[in-house]
Copies of this chain bind each other. A is one copy, B any other.
Amino acid sequence: MARWQPDAPGRLAAAALDLFEEHGYENTTVIEIAEHAGLTKSTFFRYFPDKREVLFGGGTVTGLLVEGIASAPSTAGPLDVVADALDTLGRTFFTADRREFSRRRQAVLNATTELREREALKRIDLTASMIEALDRRGVPSLTARVAAQLGALVWEIAYDQWIDTGSPDNTDDFGTLARRALADVRATGALR
């Protein structure tokens, strides 16, 4: 029964995003998502541990960032290491063809507390991964925490700008935006 079809999780994620946009996250049932993808509830929960996770598919981002931190050149400070890693991320993941999807996804996330909650957890876990990665580079523990925290902020700023439709001249890639955001953050001199 039900012959195999390619990329079940991908179809589920796409169906979910469509339905969330149309009816809202809370007014969409897992069964509806599954049916919309030509599958069933059983299969949905085989690929995603819960309903929220369908919009957080690839844990790949964390891996890429950690890799980026590990393989960054020995530059001046830990924040530059993070900036290098964000640049790598921009070239390997936050590519132009993913922008429209990211934009749609983010709009749904921002509209739903339950999803913002999951996003918050992901962010904290990601920050923890950054700290570990900096630790492995020999960065002192507290310095690593500060750098990771600021790195997360730089990420957030750059991501918002990358997604932003407002400015039509916004063709900068993610890495460029991240570098600029870091420079701005530095310029605040908030640590003084």
Contacts from A to B (Cβ < 8 Å): 77-79, 113, 116-118, 120-121, 123-124, 140, 142-143, 145-147, 149-150, 152-153, 157, 184-186, 188-192
Contact = CB atoms under 8 A, between A and B. Distances in A.
Contact of A120 (B117, B145, B191): B117
Nearest to A122: B120
A142 B191 contact: no
Copies of this chain, complex-wide, total 2
Contacts of A190: 77-79, 143, 146-147, 150, 191
A157 B143 CA distance: 13
Contact of A123 (B120, B146, B188): B120
A146 B150 CA distance: 7
B150 A188 contact: no
Nearest to A145: B153
Contacts of A123: 120, 124
Given A117-B121, A150-B191, A142 B79 contact: no
Contacts of A142: 184-185, 188
Contacts of A153: 145-146, 149
